[in-house]
Amino acid sequence: MRLITVKEIDLANEVKRILASTEQRKLRYASELNWFERWQNLWASDRIRVGVIGVTSSGKSTLINALLGDDLLSVAVRPSSSQLVSCSYAKERSAVVYFLNGEKKRVGDTVRLKETIVQYSDENYNKRNQKQVAQLELSTPNFALGEDVLLVDSPGLDATGYEAHEKLTLETLLPTVDIVVFVTTVKSEVDKKMKQTLDTIAKYDCPVMIVQNMLDAVRPSVDGKKSAATVAKERMNRVLLAVEQSAIKNKSDVKVSQISAVNAMRYRCNPNPTEQEERAYKAARYDDFVAGVKDLIKSKRPEIEKQRVRTILEHLEDLIRQEDKRTENVSTSLTADTALTAISDNITCALEDTYNDIYNVIMELEKIYAKYFSDDSEAAGRKISGLVSAFLRKDTLDEEDIAEIKNVVKKFESKTIESVQAFSEKCSMAIEKLNLPARDLWSYNGLPRMPEVSVKTKVVQRRRTVKKSGILRSILRGITFGLYKGEETEYYTETIRDDEATKESVKRYIKRLQREYAKTLDAWSTNAKSTVLSIQQEIDLRVSAIKEKEQQVLDANDWKQLRKELEKCFKRYAGKSQKQEKNVYERVNDDTNVSIGTKLIKAPYKFAQLYHAAEKYLHAVQGSVFNYAMEIKQRRDYPVIVISNSPDNLSDFLFRVYQIKKTDFRREQSYCLSNELSVACSPTADQIKSMLEQRSGANVFLLINGLQFHTEFETILRRSVQENLRPNDALFLTIQDFEVLSNGNAISECLRSVRMEQNTTANGEKGMTLISHKNPVYNMAIIYAQTTDVKLKEETEFYDSLTARFPKLVSEIEKKRINNILRS
């Protein structure tokens, strides 16, 4: 089944029948018949395209596996470079690999199917897309969205500081899809990035379904006043408010769905699900999500049909107009040829300009590299463009140098984005002038991911001379008349900037940027050339048709009869189109209700007592584990400052560790809860500085969401904290969304990023990376991993020790997660 309707088939066939009813007509209108045949073939193989976008670790792959009803797309792989993954229906499980050279390879339902998919899709096996994969299409008989739907998975919006690159990904994807599924998580903050993404979607007028994934991770508020359902509803309302503040025109058409993709996947991918999996599936609200997407698809079909019918009718109108002029001996070739040539020239120039802009980025990066690292003095002294003229050759590179290099790269990216947008606008204008369905001409392949760079540090051992303490020193100084100094050598460690490692990191960064931009150029050029080629083919076909008719004699009597038949056909289908036009943009707009299994219940007194005793026990263990972390670092005597961008995270942490129930946090506010404990919600840099200056030293617990670790919102706060730390302060980076990371199979990736940040932070060695979770064994595991050289023997001993001490807290699920922690 494909996306082609009876109306456009009937209309195209009727026009073809009229134009081919005699040999004379068939000869004269050969180009028109070819035009109809070409578009019918294109539409016959077309499907509604649903684009999936979202930040990496939002559970995008898990959701796609749930829709496939098969875990073909591994949630644990690292996506390889720029390759695109799409999903569809087929009678048997299969994968088709499309290569950049135009070839393709089909892999049937064999035992090695998943292994083959990983070989092409995982960066570990296909580094930098060495296998030249353009696209991977996965198909199963369980695909939930229908036979005429193609699900397109976009590269993750990784939020590594390259906002322009993410915009480029969206600008190239959105024109090619009919519907957008925007995946976030229930715990994700509604930040500037979400609003920017919604505004970009609005430019292309795409129907959108916003998915708040990981519903299973929602918990009641710590003060017990709000159920999990109420908390989830509040977070949905934040998204709805963001929609209201966005540039989306038909805001009431936007659907928001909260689901648990992991529970849906476990049920749909298991041929024999357990009763527990079935209950979790019903609570996951997956069926509501699928129904919502199908509603959007259903409402999109008549819109696509209307556009195609309009294309045929306007082509008919143009044919009638030209033939009328010929009966009056008015030549149409010169005017039409000039107009079509102008369209062709415009898009060709736009393609060349944009290609040159991206190419110039690569050349500017070469100049930066030569400026900093080339040993050739002549090359280093070459004239550099205005964007990099401020750089001077240095033996070392500091934070300011790296920040400026990043700033230059952002300027290059902004130029590229402007050029790509200009190209898109010119192509859209050309398509509109030709009266063609825009969606049928755009082409898309994925774009490469951009690298990151930072100053590298190393730990060195130093020594210093210090005065001995104690009364003996004073006595000896007295009886030796001051000759005895009473000094000794003390050894200590210090974290310093590693200049060589930083320079090597920057060199690799610039070189990789050059490679990735070269891939971007190739990927974008492939997309753009395909679009331009489709437009050029249309123009060539029309010019050819006009010139052919100019060389033939028009039979006026036959044209009079033919015109009547075409007008009759035109009026019949134009009338139907106008009648249905009112209903084309109707959307199903049901209110989205939240239904979660967690409820406030009445319980027998003894049961309540048991529950509270268990809760107190967990709190005691939690507090002991966090105190142990400070004790290891010899920080028990220092006061604690807890900082976060999220009021919910602050509430959870205070209740979990200190049994404090407080929920009324306001942004840019600080709270002194005791002499030993202060809290701040989204504080400014000045507020952070003031809080630290009031204490001679502090343990700073910075609560982070691993899923949003690289977002601008989180990075700004983290940098503000790091820049204000003093020698006596320690930083404890504390992960709050461990459950969400676990469900998204992102534990190892997140912990590596956070621990790398911890290790490169000034005073970072005085603190450590921690995990705040209702189950304290995960925090025990990450502390153990940072204080022990973990090998297989130690890992086994640690498991045995945990199981013996906390048998109710360590199941097989916990063991798998602990394994990820210890090996990250």
How confident is the model over 492-533, as pLDDT tens digits? 676 676 777 777 777 777 777 777 777 767 767 777 787 788
Closest CA relative to residue 703, chosen from 663, 732, 662, 672: 732
CA distance 261 to 779: 26
Given a cut of 70, whether residue 808 has pLDDT beyond it is yes
Closest CA relative to residue 125, chosen from 81, 72, 65: 81
How confident is the model over 645-677, as pLDDT tens digits? 888 889 889 988 988 888 788 888 889 988 899
Domain boundaries in the chain? 48-302, 457-497, 605-822
Superfamily for the 48-302 domain? P-loop containing nucleotide triphosphate hydrolases (3.40.50.300)
Q: How far is CA 148 from the centre of its chain?
A: 26
Given a cut of 60, whether residue 358 has pLDDT beyond it is yes
CA distance 100 to 136: 11
Same fold, 48-302 and 605-822: yes
The amino acid that residue 100 corresponds to is: L
- Quick one: average pLDDT of 14-41? 87
605-822 — its CATH code?
3.40.50
- Quick one: average pLDDT of 68-94? 74
Closest CA relative to residue 641, chosen from 695, 716, 597: 695
Name the percent of the chain lying above pLDDT 70.
Answer: 78
How confident is the model over 673-682, as pLDDT tens digits? 888 999 999 9
CA distance 693 to 701: 16
CA distance 143 to 293: 13
What's the confidence (pLDDT) of residue 793? 73
- Quick one: average pLDDT of 308-326? 84
All residues at 6 or more sequence positions from 432 whose CB lies less than 8 Å from its CB, including other chains: 438
381 confidence band (pLDDT: 50, 70, 90): very low
